[in-house]
Amino acid sequence: MPTLIDGKKTSEEIKTEIAQRVAEIKVEGGKTPHLAAILVGSDGASQTYVGAKVKSCEQVGFESTLVRLAESVTEEELLKVVEDINQNPDIDGLIVQLPLPKHISVEKVTNKIKPEKDVDGFTPANVGRMTLGWPAYVAATPYGIVELLKRYKIETSGKHCVVIGRSHIVGSPMSILMARNEYPGNCTVTLTHSRTKNLPEIAKTADILIVALGKPEFVTADMVKDGAVVIDVGIHRIEDNSKKSGFRLIGDVKFDEVSKKASAITPVPGGVGPMTIASLLYNTLLAAEKQVFG
């Protein structure tokens, strides 16, 4: 059986560490970290995600502010809310829950967020700093993956890492992080995507396979080398009448098949997913302590 890389357990460990640090800050008379979230509209999934983030803030002793805006909010009104939070010295971190309504430019909103408060790590300033290896807020999912590799002591130096998926949120930053001259890192990295020719053959050369393509059970056993470490970033809800809920969650990797060949693998759910919020909290702690931008 492969090592099951347990993101749920690891995320709880990180939250405990953050809570301990917050308790120390309070004893020292310092400022309690404060995260603000902006939620536009009434999308069910977005409300669930934001609710989980607010609850996690309470769990670690952070202050949190949730700003709810109507689906009909104008781009100008939203940018004004972002700027107000930028100028609020009590708020350390700001996230704008995606997706946004189609009449609002995600790029404009992201660029409006002050880099010092961009705990999602999406602004050009933070992406650039990460690429250069400077202190930065790293996007939550890639940071969570790096932390899982570190805490499970997965050897990365000199290994061939294949990343499937080139999104700005996961695939692209992941490829940069795995190539950096530090641990985890020092990999030879191949970044692949939906238009890559011979993708199955390339995937099979990976010592570390990170899959963030957004296609249910895309990676099958014949695409994986014996003993590979497999990180599944995907999450999809499919109908399953055998479940009380009527559905179940699966990833981008066909777990039952691939787990028989992998030396270590993340499950779905309970793998990468829980690490995203833990990473967001960690970035907010860094922001409160001015550890990235000073």
Q: Residue 117 pLDDT more than 90? A: yes
What pLDDT was estimated at residue 118? 98
* Amino acid (1-letter code) at residue 99: P
What pLDDT was estimated at residue 197? 97
Q: How far apart, in whole angstroms, are the C-alpha atoms of residue 164 and residue 171?
A: 7
What pLDDT was estimated at residue 240? 87
Residue 241, CA distances (Å) to 245, 246, 251, 267 in order:
8, 5, 18, 21
Query: How is domain 28-117 classified at the CATH fold level?
Result: Rossmann fold (3.40.50)
What pLDDT was estimated at residue 44? 86
Give the residue from 195, 190, 259 showing the smallest Cα distance to 227. 259
Q: In what order do the strands lie in the sheet with 160-164?
A: 3-4, 264-265, 229-232, 208-211, 160-164, 188-192
pLDDT band at 1 (very low <50, low <70, confident <90, very high): confident
The pLDDT of 51-70, averaged and rounded, is: 96
What's the chain's average pLDDT? Answer: 96
pLDDT band at 245 (very low <50, low <70, confident <90, very high): confident
Q: Are 250 and 217 in contact (CB under 8 A)?
A: yes
Ligand-binding annotation for 167, yes or no, is yes
Q: Is 100 left (phi over 0), alpha (psi -120 to 50) or beta?
A: beta
Q: Residue 137 pLDDT more than 80? A: yes
Q: Are 67 and 9 in contact (CB under 8 A)?
A: no
Superfamily of domain 140-273: NAD(P)-binding Rossmann-like Domain (3.40.50.720)
Q: Supply the residues annotated as catalytic.
A: 53, 97, 120
Ligand-binding annotation for 172, yes or no, is no
The full set of domain ranges for the chain reads 28-117, 140-273
pLDDT tens for 75-101 read 999 999 999 999 999 999 999 999 999
The pLDDT of 133-137, averaged and rounded, is: 96
What pLDDT was estimated at residue 294? 75
The pLDDT of 98-117, averaged and rounded, is: 97
Ligand-binding annotation for 166, yes or no, is yes
